[in-house]
Amino acid sequence: MPITTEDRLREIYGPATGRAVSKQTDHIDHHCRAFIAASPFLLIATSDGTHLDVSPKGDLPGFVVVEDDKHLLIPDWPGNSRIDGLCNILEHPRIGLIFLIPTVRETLRVNGGATIHDAPELPAKCAIKDRLPLTVIRVAVEEVFLHCAKSLLRSKMWRPETWPDARPVPSMGEMIRDHAGGNGEIESDDAMIARYVDGLAAEGRS
């Protein structure tokens, strides 16, 4: 039987107490600013009210701009144009973020409301070499807290000695070919990387 009530979950886990509760804040303080400034990677969770999506975003550390203590700006650059997360925000403007920093065992979680902007003033704040992102997600911060290190300690994520010596899964080209139900030519890793490099160059990245 699946668990269907919070009461049953609390019987198993007990109440949240102490620092697990008191560490939550409603704004970006100096510690959170430093964490975001050092983070080159985050995960964005969105929903249209029915379906869920988690999207990775990465760039140079500090690519997410702290506009003020209550607002973040997340640039969105050209990609595969699925825009699942952006469409979700249009339907259900709630967002959850997890920021990661290589070698740092803790993560930073941010929850709030989200809007999408393309008027020049907000993309200009996220410009790279005078190039603007296509849109910017503006997050109105409601909840902020540091998440403990247990998941990254368990996974040994930042311990190079635990990393595989070789890629443990087939190439991206092979997996996409199979997922798409095709029997055609597999795009090589070299061709795929060259395509990525061309796309980044179009954004003004070296």
Set out the domains of the chain in order of their start, with CATH numbers.
6-155 (2.30.110.10), 164-202 (no CATH)
**Contact predicate 99/110, CB 8 Å:** yes
The count of other CB atoms within 10 Å of the CB of residue 92 is 15
> Model-level pTM?
0.92
Greatest CA span in the chain, whole angstroms? 57
**What is the Cα 156 distance to its own chain's centre?**
20
The pLDDT tens digits for 152-200 are 999 999 999 999 999 999 999 999 888 988 777 888 888 888 888 888 8
pLDDT tens profile 113-141: 999 999 989 999 999 888 999 999 999 99
Six token digits for residue 79: 């990609």
DSSP class of residue 96?
Answer: E
